[in-house]
Structure 1
Amino acid sequence: MNNKFDALKDDDSGDHDQNEENSTQKDGEKEKNDRDKSQSSTKRKAVVPGPAEHPLQYNYTFWYSRRTPGRPTSSQSYEQNIKQIGTFASVEQFWRFYSHMVRPGDLTGHSDFHLFKEGIKPMWEDDANKNGGKWIIRLRKGLASRCWENLILAMLGEQFMVGEEICGAVVSVRFQEDIISIWNKTASDQATTARIRDTLRRVLNLPPNTIMEYKTHTDSIKAWEEFHGLVNSSGR
């Protein structure tokens, strides 16, 4: 799978349209309208690999969110603020999305990219996430784009070797630092969380003294409730 990604990577994939952020938001609004229409129908067109494309083990969906820092939020408003960018089923479809997306290091303000398996919302309360947690790594400015790319390629290429445990990954752009995290289904499975940690350290080539924090989604929800919706490290 790694070779497939390397072979298909466009040398110009780091280039992007300076207006991509605005177009992403507009596309997100259009996507929501289209999604609302499709959900009213009993049949939804499945995303499948095209002819001669390299299928991924799972379908994945890109999401984007942005909000004003310090503004209290609820679970409902948080969900409404997350915009679907699109779903892909093959290596080639991934690169079509990714090559046109703004890199995390070029985002401004309080923004997040989420990449989750199709059918899993990037929310603590989702059925696939509610008993799980996430590894969190705080990055100094300038590292987010490369770390995010390495993380999602490792995730799509099944490098974590933990079965169906991986739910998705998030990169959170903040004013003083950036944060990346990878979410898994079962927080109580210490062997799995340890393997994810070790793989994460390897694929990101992290220095030995890098601080890595594991936080259960239950703890994230409790912390969020205690602060009555104020911003905390989980990104709410």
Structure 2
Amino acid sequence: MAQTCGISPEELRVREGDYPSNETPLETAWTFWYDKKTSDKKESDQYIEGLRQLGSFNTVQGFYRHYSYLLRPSELPRDHNCYMFRKHYKPMWEEFPEGGCWIIRIKRKTSQNYVNHMWENLLLACIGEAFEMPDVVGAVLSTRLKDDVLSVWNLSNRGTPARFRIGERLKEVLDLHMTALIQYKDHMQSLQDYSTYRNARNYMFAPSPNVTPQIGVLNTPQQTHQEHADQDLDQGMLPPAAIDTMLPPAAVDTEGFGGGPDVWGGAR
């Protein structure tokens, strides 16, 4: 894990003596955060003021003590965000200017129990280091009018293959169809357009004829400022996109699940 915010990887590790002897330690401690989305563009100081820290934990038992008191996605009011980040990190673009996040949008018409299950699985995957990438720094749940949005943040994009392995693993963790569409956005771009989700790039992981997974980039048509203002999470579907030629046509599933719950790539 690269060093950022003045924190070294060793400083993040849970050490013997940091936790009750009768509990199971995690690799690192984590913190739950909460805030409400506003329509105003906020500078970092203003954004920090709106963040509420709910509590930290460094054991499996500690996770469940905190998680049992949290509202499930189906119970959260609209336009609220719940974050779980490695301790000492804040859920802010400014904390990880070289990083970004993978994004999945679940339509609200989908069974709410399904959304609850996906969120819980994502949290367990993070604390259990199921991504096998220490660059994974946090998970986010955002509730919006038509969609619930899950995202996984990574520390740095300098190692592009590592970033794509996180995206692939995310689809495995959430048991998504291999050709389901997801999105990725650099935090540097978010710092420019003040949105975690707007203008994100569309990706589809699809098997090539030799069964080796390949990654295609779907080029989303450009929108005017008026068209995409506050539409980042309110659109029911992603706009039409040109499929990259590296993807075999038979592997492309533009409906995400093909008969299952609607999942589309989708804080502040």
How does the TM-score come out when normalised to structure 2? Answer: 0.64
Determine which structure has the larger helix proportion and give its number: 1
- Give the letter for the 1:159 counterpart: A
Question: Partners in 1 of 2:158 and 2:184 — Cα distance?
Answer: 11
Question: Partners in 1 of 2:138 and 2:78 — Cα distance?
Answer: 22
Question: Partners in 1 of 2:135 and 2:35 — Cα distance?
Answer: 24
Question: Partners in 2 of 1:53 and 1:168 — Cα distance?
Answer: 23
Q: Secondary structure at the match of 2:22?
A: coil
| Match status 1:158 vs 2:134 | no
Alpha carbons of structure 1 residues 184 and 67: separation in structure 2 relative to 1, 3 Å:
closer
| Runs of 5+ unmatched residues, structure 2 | 1-16, 199-224, 234-265
Contact kept? 1:53, 1:91, Cα under 8 Å: yes
1:75 Cα deviation after fit? 2.6
**Count of aligned pairs:** 184
Map 1:1-236 → 2, pairs under 5 A: 48-68=18-38, 70-126=39-95, 129-141=96-108, 142=112, 143-162=114-133, 164-224=134-194, 231=230, 232=232, 235-236=267-268
* Root-mean-square deviation over aligned CA pairs: 2.1
1:182 Cα deviation after fit? 0.5
- Give the letter for the 1:79 counterpart: I
Runs (4 or more) in structure 1 with deviation over 4 Å come to 230-234
1:138 Cα deviation after fit? 0.8
Among the aligned pairs, what percent are the same residue?
34
Bigger RCO (CA 8 Å, 6+ sep): 1
1:166 Cα deviation after fit? 1.1
| Runs of 5+ unmatched residues, structure 1 | 1-46
The higher radius of gyration belongs to 2
Contact kept? 1:60, 1:117, Cα under 8 Å: yes
How does the TM-score come out when normalised to structure 1? Answer: 0.72
